[in-house]
Structure 1
Amino acid sequence: MKAAVVFITAIGIAGGLQVGLVFAVMPSYDKGENRPIAAFGILSSVLLSLALFPQYYEIYKHREVVGISIPFIFIDMMGGVFSDLSLIFKEKFDVIAGVAYSLVIALDAVVLLLALILNPRARRARRRAAISNPQLDNVATPSVPSRRPSLIQGG
């Protein structure tokens, strides 16, 4: 019941905000001004860029890409590529949309590149740690908890 109330409240707030913003932007749009719409496009690019920073922090903290689906990131990046390609075939190139789509491509590509570089390094380091200390027969990855008891986990 709590979840339903929170969901309906969130939907109501989001819908009200959207309706309010449409009415706030409409007068300037009717006058032929595109500044408010451009501002929303720029804001979306900024928020899009900020969305992956928590993941970048996790990558920095763990020194490997954990807690994110590599296939999802690849598909997301391809969405940016095809969206950028769609802009090429328009009569007039939308620079703000192009920047937003290109940011998706660049930020996702960095995550994929870091996964290709850091994940094998982390696996080798765990393997070396397990070989050098046989008592630690199961060194868990940061994202996947160990299923077998080990000395580290007190089991």
Structure 2
Amino acid sequence: MTKTSPFTHLDKLGQAHMVDITEKQVTSRTATAQSIVCFSADSFNKLTEDNPKGDVFAVARIAGIQAAKRCADLIPLCHSLALSNVSIDFNLLPDKHQVQVLAQCKLAGKTGVEMEALTAASIAALTLYDMCKAFDKGIVIEHTCLLEKTGGKSGHWQRTTS
């Protein structure tokens, strides 16, 4: 008797495979993900004032967008997707010395864009770390998660806790 796996990327024998989306319907799909980047008070001030490396947020935004576009090259079983939009926003949380990185990906397609949004948020956060590590090696990246997704067979899903 063959046991059915809850993992969509494993076949009945437990072997990794790419999910066949040939027969799935094309729907409008979006996904929003976040990463939180935690700084010391001093480094948060340096980041939000005059950074000698230039516009740190512009570099991180471009890195996040590029990461979403290259997600299938990074995660072995992801489908290559024709993204119609990728946006990266940064919310400064000065009371906590944090930056919330928000990444949203959109497309009309047969599979979701959750992995692209998560990859975009992660790489934008890592780029902030890279740009600021010269003055703070203690930066922490935390709480990378999917916040919301729409479209597809499972419809709308939204995180209810932060």
Q: TM-score range by the shorter chain?
A: under 0.3
TM-score of the pair, normalised by structure 1 = 0.23
Q: Which has the higher strand share?
A: 2
In our comparison, the structure showing a higher alpha carbon Rg is 1
TM-score of the pair, normalised by structure 2 = 0.23
Q: Which has the higher helix share?
A: 1
